[in-house]
Amino acid sequence: AAVAPRIPPTRLALHHLDVNYSLQLKDLWPSVRAGLLCEQKYGALLNSFSPVDRITQELELLNATDFVSEASKKAQRLQWAAATEEAERGESQSRERPGEGRTAMQAETMTQAEMPPPLLASITSNIKCYTFPRGDITRFRPARPDTLGLLNYYLMDAASLLPVLALNVQPDDLVLDLCAAPGGKTLALLQTGVCGHLAANDVSVSRTKRLHQILHSYIPKEIREIVSVMSCDGRDWGQLQGGTFHKVLVDVPCTTDRHSVMEEDNNIFHKRRTKERQMLPMLQLQLLMAGILATKPGGEVVYSTCSLSPLQNEYVIE
């Protein structure tokens, strides 16, 4: 052991992913592997509590676009296309069976109420996250403070915004971010502008300090009053405040695939952390159960990871 060459945890991680994900993803794995090994692509989450018009113009001049609104527009186009196709199918059937179906002309005059609801329409107008085009990994410049001292955008992996969009917070919802630090998703939840109260928890005291810093850098004092930051073991939330929240985000600790193959520091594949890594699915299950127990009847829970591992995703849900 003393003379054997030290294998870096990034190499151990990549070998582990090669063995497992090549079986899971088959022909897709080479392109996914290349994506994991590419430089991380960031999005700029605009701070709606800071004047955004000027920064929006700056980002659009750089050829960045708001992927949230683009996704919403695409969803609406797909909904309209599906509705039109269904109407035309009905028109075709009505030729065979007069008096049945809906004509294409009628489809064009469908009322707003008849159309399927736009994708998360209640919050997409508030959440804006700019990214550069596919294949462009240009770095955004550091955020700058406005006249009130609030930073104008927060740089984060754009995919990290997806669990927040999926949570679909509604006006006055009581929301729990069970594993909140370092704070990007907590900040995004506040950008919706509709949280009645937001409990942000993380078991690590040092990470909750980072969360406090982010809130002070981006959120006005009067808005911070609706946020409770705590440092508890998330597995205990079901007993602490059971049946309390309308929406719960359970963004659990995981193998964090990209970090594991790219960064030596704090790498879960370090040999000293083998037992911790093996116990992750059990920890994730316990956190998810606590999140479910913390939710009101009829409420909603989003479970998310930064890993492609079925053990940490589908199997935890099952």
How far, rounded to the nearest angstrom, does the alpha carbon of residue 58 sit from its chain's CA centroid? Answer: 25
- 127, with CB counted inside 10 A (0-12, 13-18, 19+), is buried
* Tokens of residue 91, six digits: 């028109």
**Distance of alpha carbon 255 from alpha carbon 240, whole angstroms:** 28
Which of 161, 170, 167 is closest to 249 using CA atoms?
167
**Distance of alpha carbon 45 from alpha carbon 187, whole angstroms:** 9
4 in a labelled binding site: no
129 in a labelled binding site: no
| Gyration radius of the chain's alpha carbons | 23
- Name residue 273's amino acid: R
CA distances from 60 to 19, 35, 44 (A): 42, 25, 12
Does the CA dihedral 142-206-127-147 come out positive or negative? negative
185 in a labelled binding site: yes
Based on the residue annotation, tell me whether 232 is a catalytic residue of this protein.
no
180 in a labelled binding site: yes
Asked if the peptide bond before residue 30 counts as cis, ω within 30 degrees of 0, the response is: no
The torsion of the CA quartet 309, 313, 314, 316, rounded to 10 degrees, works out to 120
251 in a labelled binding site: yes
**Distance of alpha carbon 146 from alpha carbon 193, whole angstroms:** 19
**Distance of alpha carbon 231 from alpha carbon 16, whole angstroms:** 32
Query: Which residues carry a binding-site annotation for S-adenosyl-L-methionine?
Result: 179-185, 202, 233, 251
Task: Kindly list the catalytic residues.
Answer: 306
Query: Which residues carry a binding-site annotation?
Result: 179-185, 202, 233, 251
